[in-house]
Structure 1
Amino acid sequence: MHRTNVYLIFNLCCVIIYNVMIYGQDAVKTETLNRQSPIPLYYQLKEILRSWITSGKFDSDGCFPPERKLQERYGISRMTVRRALAELVNEGFLIREQGRGSFVVKTRMQEQLRHLTSFTEDTEQRGLSSEAKVLDFQITVDTEVAEEMGISEDEELIRLQRIRMVEGEPLALQTSFIRHNLCPGLVEQGLLGESLYKTLEAGYGLRLGRARQTFEAKPADEYEAGLLGIDVGQSVLVLERLTYLHNGTPIEYVRSTYRGDRYRFTVELLR
């Protein structure tokens, strides 16, 4: 069911991109519904309501307009309103409480993908407090990770798995693999200020240079859901990063699973 919702959202995104190209940005930015547009009415309404939330029109945990008010304002059926609200719930913008209505969830953390930074550095730049709960920190061998890094399959790696928390709330599950021969003694010495990158640079004199990242959306499995405090099947964002030193040597492979309702990434494209 959840996998179907992911595919449906992806297909609708394709529709909206196509219509923006054909009809212009006003096709989705206007606060009125265009009944002549091939874009479904519920999707148009969802985009309007989503813009209200992201622009700060409603405070976090603030009560959202009831279905009847939205139905009257836009002259549409209650079924259309309910579908739009359901989509916003699935995307993590709203929560619905029986007998009380819909409420805006907390603002998502947003990361600008411009520079190679750590989770700790990102939160510090925002003036937020972060902490990490270490689940696993040991020397191991992983043939699949070694293949991703382009190194010998029997080379020793340090496996570091942590729950990353911001303001006391779990936001991500992060599993890093670091080449042991480039930072011997890391497991015994621990991290400087809970930051892996700070430890590699200040503790070992390694100069980080660049990274390659990939993203995908998927439903959370039972293990991820339990650690992040979300429902099984809830949407999460998976980031895989391969980090290189300044001289081109691969140093780290990390797989991070972010809560889709609390995190989003922004990429600036230039032409």
Structure 2
Amino acid sequence: MIDKHSPTPIYFQLEHSLRRQIEDGELLPGELLPSEREFAEKLGISRMTVRQAITNLVNEGFLYRQKGRGTFVSEKKLEQRLSGLTSFTEDMRMRGLTPASKLLSFKIIPADVKTAERLQIQDYASVYEIIRVRLADEVPMALETVYMSVNLVKDLTEKLVSASLYTYIENELSLSIGRAAQSMEAVLATENEEEHLLVPKGAPVLFIERNTYLTNGTPLEHVKSFYRADRYKLTVDINR
């Protein structure tokens, strides 16, 4: 595992070895790693060197620490390709996972100026505000807030938003969803994300803001989502 005569730093060798074991399935999700002291004694290296390798893997999301318990292998991240427009429900089902939503809030409110501008409606016109935790195989993946015009999306209920919104919109309302534009950035989890996504306050999360449009160009929704960075990654194909 470690070649002390190699010009490659020892911490990097250990980091690379553990990453390979995780990717090859030799170390399984939820598995407890030996302590820093055990690693150091077994490999004949310093605990500081072990700590640096472990910390790098924690920062990359391959490992996670639990205070008083130790360091564990993280669940494999779900990969979403940034091509094609699918709902969360459709995306999870394509992966063989069971999607679900935990509805935190469903109400009709007057649109503020920014929301009205994004939805191209009058200021303070009525919009649905839907706040949900999105789950895959009962694991919280994202905290999502959706805004939709009441005049466009008719007769929405709590029962409907607990399922797939896109299915209702396309199959029941016969509205054709065309495209979306979204931005992404890394932010730190607040107490709100800590509570609903079960991540430590201050942990990195992916903040995604999206505007979705019908095929005729009418804005359908404005969505703000916080995704767990330890369970989700985004990939994109770029052609020259």
1:191-243 residue CA offsets vs partner (Å, 9 max, x unmatched): 17700111110111010011111111111101121111221111111111110
Q: Distance in 2 between matches of 1:44 and 1:179?
A: 54
Corresponding residue number in structure 2 for 1:145: 115
Question: Runs (4+) of structure 1 moved beyond 6 Å?
Answer: 31-37, 72-75
Assess if the C-alpha contact under 8 Å between 1:158 and 1:187 holds in 2.
no
Corresponding residue number in structure 1 for 2:149: 179
1:254 equivalent among 208, 215, 223: 223
- Which structure 1 residue ranges, 5 or more long, are not aligned? 1-30
Is 1:156 aligned to 2:111, yes or no?
Answer: no
Corresponding residue number in structure 1 for 2:71: 102
Secondary structure at 2:157 match in 1: helix
Corresponding residue number in structure 1 for 2:104: 135
1:24-65 residue CA offsets vs partner (Å, 9 max, x unmatched): xxxxxxx9899768xx86467545533432343311122436
2:201 equivalent among 215, 228, 232: 232
Residues 197, 98 of structure 1: alpha-carbon distance in 2 compared, 3 angstrom cutoff: closer
User: How do residues 50-89 of structure 1 correspond to structure 2 at under 5 angstroms?
Assistant: 50-64=19-33, 67=36, 77-89=46-58
Residues 99, 207 of structure 1: alpha-carbon distance in 2 compared, 3 angstrom cutoff: closer
Assess if the C-alpha contact under 8 Å between 2:100 and 2:136 holds in 1.
yes
TM-aligned CA deviation for residue 99 of structure 1: 7.8
TM-score, with length taken from structure 2: 0.84
Assess if the C-alpha contact under 8 Å between 1:32 and 1:74 holds in 2.
no
- Once the two structures are overlaid, the 10-residue window that deviates more, 158-167 or 148-157, is 148-157
Assess if the C-alpha contact under 8 Å between 1:142 and 1:157 holds in 2.
no
1:96-143 residue CA offsets vs partner (Å, 9 max, x unmatched): 457875321222222222110011001111121121111111211222
Residues 42, 143 of structure 1: alpha-carbon distance in 2 compared, 3 angstrom cutoff: farther
Corresponding residue number in structure 2 for 1:169: 139
Q: Distance in 1 between matches of 2:199 and 2:68?
A: 22
Q: Which has the higher strand share?
A: 2
Q: Distance in 2 between matches of 1:94 and 1:110?
A: 17
- Once the two structures are overlaid, the 10-residue window that deviates more, 170-179 or 96-105, is 96-105
Residues 205, 58 of structure 1: alpha-carbon distance in 2 compared, 3 angstrom cutoff: same
Identity value in percent: 43
Q: Which amino acid aligns with 1:178?
A: M
- Which structure 2 residue ranges, 5 or more long, are not aligned? none
Corresponding residue number in structure 2 for 1:270: 239
User: How do residues 22-37 of structure 1 correspond to structure 2 at under 5 angstroms?
Assistant: none
Corresponding residue number in structure 1 for 2:86: 117
TM-score, with length taken from structure 1: 0.76
